Amino acid sequence: MLEIIEIILTTPFLQRALIGAVLVALVASSSGTFLVFRGLSFMTAGVAHAALGGAALGLFLQESGLIPWFDPILGALLFAVFVALVTGYAGESGIAQKMEVAVGVSFALSMSIAVFLMYYIPPTQVPQIWGYLIGDILLLDNFDVVMLALTALTLVIITAVFNKEFVYVSVDMEGSLAHGMNARAYHYLMLITSALAIALATKAVGAILVYAILVAPAAASNEVLSSVRGVVLGVFVVALLSELAGIASSFAFRASPSAIAGILAAMSYVVAMQIKRHRERIRVSRQTEMKHSRIDRPFPEDKVVATAGSPGDDE
Partner 1 sequence: MTESDILFKSENLWVKYPNGEVALHDVDFEIEGPSFIAVIGPNGSGKSTLVKTALGLLKPYRGHISLFGFDSMKETGEIRRRVRYVPQRDRIDLNIPMKVIDIVLMGRLLKKSPPRIASSKDKRLSMEALEKVNMDELWKRPFPELSGGQRQRVLVARALASEGQLLLLDEPLAGTDVESQNMIVEALRRYHEENDVSVIMVTHDLNPVHTLVQDVLLLQNTVIGVGTPCSIMDPELLQKVYGPDARVVEYAGHRYCVTRDSGIDRHA
User: Binding to partner 1 by residue 236, rule CB under 8 A?
Assistant: no
161: buried, middle or exposed (CB in 10 Å: 19+, 13-18, 0-12)? exposed
Which residue in 42, 51, 50, 44 sits closest to 100, CA to CA? Answer: 42
User: Binding to partner 1 by residue 286, rule CB under 8 A?
Assistant: no
Q: Which of 11, 12, 112, 179 binds partner 1 (CB under 8 A)?
A: 179
Q: Which of 167, 197, 215, 247 binds partner 1 (CB under 8 A)?
A: 167
User: Binding to partner 1 by residue 176, rule CB under 8 A?
Assistant: yes
User: Binding to partner 1 by residue 313, rule CB under 8 A?
Assistant: no
111: buried, middle or exposed (CB in 10 Å: 19+, 13-18, 0-12)? middle
Phi, psi of 298 (to 5 degrees): -85, 85
Least distance in angstroms from the C-beta of 49 to partner 1: 24
Phi, psi of 314 (to 5 degrees): -90, 20
User: Binding to partner 1 by residue 198, rule CB under 8 A?
Assistant: no
User: Binding to partner 1 by residue 156, rule CB under 8 A?
Assistant: no
Stretch that binds partner 1, among 36-44, 75-83, 114-122, 261-269 (CB under 8 A): 36-44
Q: Which of 51, 231, 247, 266 binds partner 1 (CB under 8 A)?
A: 231
User: Binding to partner 1 by residue 124, rule CB under 8 A?
Assistant: no
Structural contact between residues 218 and 32, judged by C-beta atoms closer than 8 angstroms: yes
Q: Angle of helix 12-27 relative to helix 142-171, nearest 10 degrees?
A: 10
Stretch that binds partner 1, among 104-112, 132-140, 175-183, 284-292 (CB under 8 A): 175-183
Identity of the residue, 76 or 167, whose beta carbon is nearer to partner 1 in the bound complex: 167
DSSP codes joined into one string, 96-131: HHHHHHHHHHHHHHHHHHHHHHHTTS-GGGHHHHHH
* 3-state per-residue secondary structure call for 177-221: HHCCCCHHHHHHHHHHHHHHHHHHHHHHHCHHHHHHHHHHHHHHH
Least distance in angstroms from the C-beta of 174 to partner 1: 5
212: buried, middle or exposed (CB in 10 Å: 19+, 13-18, 0-12)? buried
CA distance 110 to 134: 18
User: Binding to partner 1 by residue 267, rule CB under 8 A?
Assistant: no
Least distance in angstroms from the C-beta of 272 to partner 1: 13
Q: Which of 82, 165, 218, 264 binds partner 1 (CB under 8 A)?
A: 165
User: Binding to partner 1 by residue 148, rule CB under 8 A?
Assistant: no
User: Binding to partner 1 by residue 159, rule CB under 8 A?
Assistant: no
User: Binding to partner 1 by residue 230, rule CB under 8 A?
Assistant: yes
CA distance 59 to 129: 8
User: Binding to partner 1 by residue 35, rule CB under 8 A?
Assistant: no
Q: Which of 142, 227, 307, 310 binds partner 1 (CB under 8 A)?
A: 227
Q: Which residues bind partner 1 (CB under 8 A)?
A: 36-39, 94, 96, 161-162, 164-165, 167-168, 170-181, 222, 225-228, 230-231, 314-315
